[in-house]
Homo-oligomer: A and B are copies of this chain.
C-alpha cells in the first residue's frame, strides 16, 4: 500500500493491466471515507456509488456513462443526482475532470491536494489514464506563462498517446 502510494507520487503512474484492481478500488474507497471524515463531509451512498462507478475502470467516464453504470445496480439516477455527487467528489479531490473529454476520473494519487496541477496520460488504445504529479513540470510551465506577465491559475495538461502495455501488445 505504501509502496503503491509512493509510486504514484514519485513518477508518472500508469495503472498496470494486471494490478490488483479489487484492492485498488477498496483502497480508494477507504481513502475517500477517511478524507470525508477528516473534513466532516458526508460520504453518502450515492457519492460512494458514483465514486465506485468511476473506480470500476481507470478510464474517464462521461456523466451519462456513470448513470449507465449506476443503472445496473439501482434505479436509474437522474443526471442532476450524478452531477451533484461528481461536484462533491471533485471538490474533495477524489475525482478529476478530464477537460478534453468532458469526462470524470477517479483520482489515483491519494496524496496530492485538490487544487494542485496534475497532468494526465491518456492511452488512445486501452483508454486507461495515468497521472503525472505536478511537481516535475508545473514549475516550468508556470514560469513560461509568467514570463509574459500571465498569472496562471488552473492548468489542464492532457497528453494522448500509447501506454507502455499497449505498445508491447501491438
Contact = CB atoms under 8 A, between A and B. Distances in A.
Interface of A: 11-14, 99-100, 102, 119, 121, 123-124, 130, 132, 136-137, 140-142, 144-145, 147-164, 167
A132 B87 CA distance: 31
Contact of A152 (B102, B148, B161): B161
B145 A136 contact: no
A148 B14 CA distance: 7
Contacts of A137: 137, 140-141, 144
Scoring A99, A141, A158, A159 by chain B CB atoms within 10 A of each residue's CB, the highest score goes to A159
The 3 closest A-B pairs by CB, nearest first: A149-B164, A99-B100, A12-B148
A102 B101 CA distance: 9
Given A141-B119, A160-B154, A148 B99 contact: no
B160 A157 contact: no
